[in-house]
Structure 1
Amino acid sequence: MIRVTDHIALDETELVEEFVRASGPGGQNVNKVATAVQLRFDVRRSPSLPNDVAIRLMRLAGSRLTTDGVLVITAQRFRTQERNRADARERLIAMIQEAAVRPTPRRPTRPTLASKKRRVDAKKHRGAIKSRRQGRPEE
């Protein structure tokens, strides 16, 4: 079990890891060893995620989400499989933790009387400046 938050834990079997060849640095190994990791996590069918968290995660994932609702994270920052694997898992956990935070609802507010007065005074002042320009010949 991978602990994400106090209430959310992922089962290892829900993660599918595929190792592919990475682009970028790697020396002689770059053409021989598959060090990059593609981590796949089925957000839509995951029993570990509450529905509201899954919806927020799908919105957060953006283009990393397939049409089937599978989140794909590619990690190729490091030269070893182990470090890329850990990096991919950390990024998944960070995304789920971000999705787990319930957004605070916006409370509609009304402008104060003082702010309304300041706005009207500023408009009157600006109008007065413009009205004084009238009647002057252009130079």
Structure 2
Amino acid sequence: MIPTKEDIVKVVLFKTSRSGGKGGQNVNKVSSKVELILNIHSAPFLNEDEKELLNERLAHRLDQEGNLHIVSQEDRSQLMNKERTIIKLIALLKSALHIQKNRKPTKIPKSVIRKRLADKQITAAKKENRRRPQFD
């Protein structure tokens, strides 16, 4: 189950720092870069199976303690960057927890096979009629 923004805000830790990029003097004064840190093992909105699946699928994004880090510094506003990190986290959880259905192979209908063979016979007959007659 995908958590809501309110559930996420209760559990995660936000770190702020100065961001690079556009903003003029504002960049030097305001800490607008936001880093969201979620410890997957202590998240109450995930059950044990989901935690196991996230550990497996997001192993390359976790640190040694099992924390997931998401950073946003696109906007000049710290509040907007906080919102973006939460949205990124929800999207990441959705994609990581999505289980793909198994494909059921289907048989080719007999009518389709018969039509293909009939078409092949028609083409073969056309090509046979184009040949020079052979005299024995």
- State the TM-score, normalized to the length of structure 2: 0.63
Instruction: State the alpha-carbon separation in 2 of the partners of residues 70 and 34 from structure 1.
Output: 22
For the pair 1:45 / 2:34, whether they are aligned, the reply is no
**Mapped pair 1:66 → 2:62:** yes
Mapped to 1, the partners of 2:35 and 2:9 lie a distance apart of 18
Residues 11 and 37 (structure 1), Cα distance of their counterparts in 2 relative to 1, 3 Å cut: closer
Match of 1:85 among 66, 82, 85: 82
Identity of aligned residues (%): 30
Give, as a single letter, the amino acid of the residue that structure 1 aligns with 2:63. T
State which structure, 1 or 2, has the greater radius of gyration over its C-alpha atoms.
2
Deviations 1:48-75 (A, max 9, x none): 112333324651x454x33331110000
Query: Cα–Cα, structure 1 residues 32 and 11, in superposed 2: closer, same or farther, change >3 Å?
Result: closer
Indicate how the Cα distance of structure 1 residues 18 and 98 shifts in structure 2: closer, same or farther if over 3 A, else same. same
CA distance in 1, matches of 2:96, 2:84: 18
Check conservation: 1:36, 1:84, Cα contact below 8 A.
Answer: yes
What is the Cα deviation at residue 21 of structure 1? 1.0
Match of residue 99 from structure 1: 96
Q: Deviations over 1:83-123 (max 9, x none)?
A: 000000111111122233222135578999xxxxxxxxxxx
Aligned-partner Cα distance in 2 for 1:42–1:108: 40
Structure 2 stretches lacking a partner, 5+ long: 110-136
Distance 1:22 1:58 in 2: 31
Q: TM-score, normalised by structure 1?
A: 0.62
CA gap of 1:52–1:90, structure 2 versus 1, over 3 A, is same
Number of equivalent positions:
121
Q: Runs (4+) of structure 1 moved beyond 4 Å?
A: 106-112
1:47 CA drift (Å): 2.4
**CA offset digits 1:31-51 (Å, max 9, x no partner):** 221100000001133221123
Match of 2:73 among 76, 92, 97: 76
